[in-house]
Structure 1
Amino acid sequence: MSNNLRHLLWVALCAHGMATAGSLPTAFERYGFTGGAQSQGHYGSAIAPIGDSAGVEGLAVGSPNSASGAIGAVERWLDTGSGWQRVPMATQPPMPPSGHHFGGALASFGTRLFATATSPPSAYVFEVQPGNQLATVLNQSLQPQAQGTAGQRDGVTVASFADYLAIGSLRNLDDSGTVELFRLQGGQWTTTGQILSEPGSAPPDAAFGHGLAITEDRLFVGTPYFSPVAGEVLSGAVYEYTRPSSGGNWTLSGFQLLSDTTLPVDQPAQLGYSLAAQGTVMVTGAPRLRLTNNGPEIGGALVYQFDPGTNRWLLETVLPNPDATPDADFGAAVAVAGDWILIGAPSSNGFDGRAYLFQRNDLGQWQPTLRLSSSAVGGHMFGQSVAFARDGSFVVGAPNFAGGDGAFYVFLSDELLQDGFE
């Protein structure tokens, strides 16, 4: 197969099917797509649902190493109702510099699409235009402020809800990381002047902001390499901030540590590596989690529920890797939508990767429902990114497909339910 053909739309993968391994059924993709001409672009590194004001829906897919000089790009896919159609012309910022790595992280809210780049650290705000196949118009480019000594960590993260925007800069403060708050006022995003960092001391390499999620009135910031004692294991932490009632600063209102659970504390769990929140549910990944002191690092995700009586987020349950596979990085990516949680394990199965779907049952308990896998094999890191499309489909990125070209896969929720695996 020629390189050009290999990178074309991969519609022929209609190999959707089911298999059973142990008690958990395995679902294979309905569609798989590569990144067109995005050779070695790590296509699928980030995925976000998008839509316009007319109700047209689709997906944005990041390819941060694509194009000449690793400029990066974001492709858009239109949900036609009977399949997925690539939209011509990838989204890129104007005149990006070489090594910009645009598209490394994505977020969306309403008709807005947010995309980050790492060199220099930047975040771009696009508006999805109605009636034009999800065409995007760049509204604004933002550069979070540098803080302290610049480290070596390149990540820039982003999360938005309504008129608030949070941008994480992981290299700030010698890789300790910061999160800067922006607000939409008069049609323009402007900094609030508030820059969050690790409360108390700011140890190097903590990666404050690696995980980032925001709801109507809460901001969650993950610090996966936080250690309660300098030089000890990296158990991680999640910090909770409350939105000001009118103006003012977000205030630290809580934090989540392994010491608040029955899990072993002295372990490199990396709590806060990934974050997702919707309504009264918050999920955070801990990809190196151990269930016992000397047990394997099978990974997990912790689910928190907001309790209005105490005005606190309380641990509801711990979701361990259903396959209990060591070193799978289960929890490297998480997404939540209603009664569904999707968790990626990109290092599972020899770095082929897997993802797992959990559903909340009638008793309010979260149960593993499906193991998701791609029909392709070869160290693709399937599960490095996960998302729910607005039509309810489950979407999983595999940025190392074909040696780093990348791909993403769509699993149709209605077909899975018809097959009886609800």
Structure 2
Amino acid sequence: MSNVPQQRLVQTAIPGPRSVELQQRKTAAVSAGVSTGLPVYVERAGGGILVDVDGNQLIDFGSGIAVTTVGNAAPRVVERVSQQVQDFTHTCFMVTPYEEYLEVAEALNELTPGDHEKRTALFNSGAEAVENAVKVARHYTGRNAVVAFDHAYHGRTNLTMAMTAKNMPYKHRFGPFAGEVYRAPMSYPFRWPGGPADCAKESFDVFVQQVHAQVGEDNVAAVVLEPIQGEGGFIVPAPGFVKQVADWCTDNGIVFIADEVQSGFCRTGDWFASEHERVVPDIIATAKGIAGGLPLAGVTGSAEIMDSVHGGGLGGTYGGNPVACAAALGAIQTMKEEDLCSRAKQVEALFLPRLKRLADTFPQIGDIRGRGAMLAVELIHGPGDLTPNAVLTAAVNKACHAEGLVTLTCGTFGNVFRFLPPLAASDELLSEGLDIFEKAFAASV
């Protein structure tokens, strides 16, 4: 259990005076390119609460963007990290290896979908994981082209920026980008021209036709797909779409890469979102929730594909750092022993009825979607007008922050609220957070 009191407490304006002072220091010391959504400086955190430097206790509906799934400073993570820091902090696995890296690789080989023989390589971030997954696929197939999707987000490196669909703020004036990256329409039921029913029937056919016409199947090394899109708006593809794409890749000798950086590690009610449709990716990229807040990422795939790369072709100085590996082992232990997949389903059962009742009252909520503790609402202007309502989204977000609820927005059009609470948060805290969200929504419409 967390030693942070699990209750909301707002005793200053948010941000408070000490946070305002620190934000001034941030402006003077940190690049303006590194922005802050809510300039409240955190001093302690645990469970579902963030404590700021002014003594406010905020309910966390963001988990550091799906990172602290097991809760901040989770006891098993703290215990393992504390011991590892005392033992050693770094040797570089490529120079003198250590068992912690092996244990994480073995865990990922076991937990990721499929019972085939697998191999894993560890890195630092989701972007690194995706980029290395593409490297492996290109090496294995001898092909160059990579297909990504509309609304995709894959990272901020040069290659992953090319794969990311949104210009501002991720790509604007940062080009030229890596070549041989192609984009296909995403199966987006809410915004499919013919509606959700047509999306289920048509989106896969449109994908196949476009790749055939614009790229050619024999030129494609990999198709990279988020089983539930993250930054693009928590878009859940039409039922069957992910499985159809994966099977099509197999039929055409293409590596199917599932980017589960945001959707992995119990977040959706399964260990990985791919499992919902019984999809077994050739390669799966993971990060965020893997290590309870420490930087770690994994690329896990079939032994045949992963072992095709020559010795020294994969790696990095900090990749699979022993302290981060210790954190991952503590986080995975927590997920197993506390059955956090079931907890994510309980969160969904708590949130969805509340969000649906709100949608019945306010037609500006156009869509409710997601799975487990990865849920979202998309805001529009009203019945018959699906124009994205980014202004209302920003207003509700600001109102939530003022009441001590940390909320996140997303979406290509900036009009989606995403809910990513820690799975360590109590039902009482989550209910109180939803109360705040509902009142903020009513006051902002």
TM-score, normalization: structure 1? Answer: 0.26
The answer to which structure has the higher strand fraction is: 1
The answer to which structure has the higher helix fraction is: 2
